[in-house]
Amino acid sequence: MKFIDLFAGLGGFHLALSKLGHECVFASELLPELQSLYKKNHGIECAGDINQVDISSIKSHDILCAGFPIKI
């Protein structure tokens, strides 16, 4: 199955779902330091602020994962 990872943080959802054989087709994370860590750990470039993403660019998916965003 294909999933998207919103408010991705370190990529905990990604880690679990990829170990189950699922494929991440989109990720979004606001914080630049976490974006670079996510790319290093999972090989996927995260989109930044989800409010700025053109939703038509998000690929079809079966699962939507979303961490709880924190107010900084």
pLDDT 10s per residue in the chain (72 long)?
999 999 999 999 999 999 999 999 999 999 999 999 999 999 999 999 999 999 999 999 999 999 877 776
To the question of domain 2-66 being in CATH 3.40.50.150, the answer is yes
Q: Is the overall model pTM greater than 0.85, yes or no?
A: yes
CB of 60 within 8 A of CB of 3? no
The confidence score (pLDDT) of residue 69 equals 72
What pLDDT sits at residue 67?
86
Residues present in the chain in total: 72
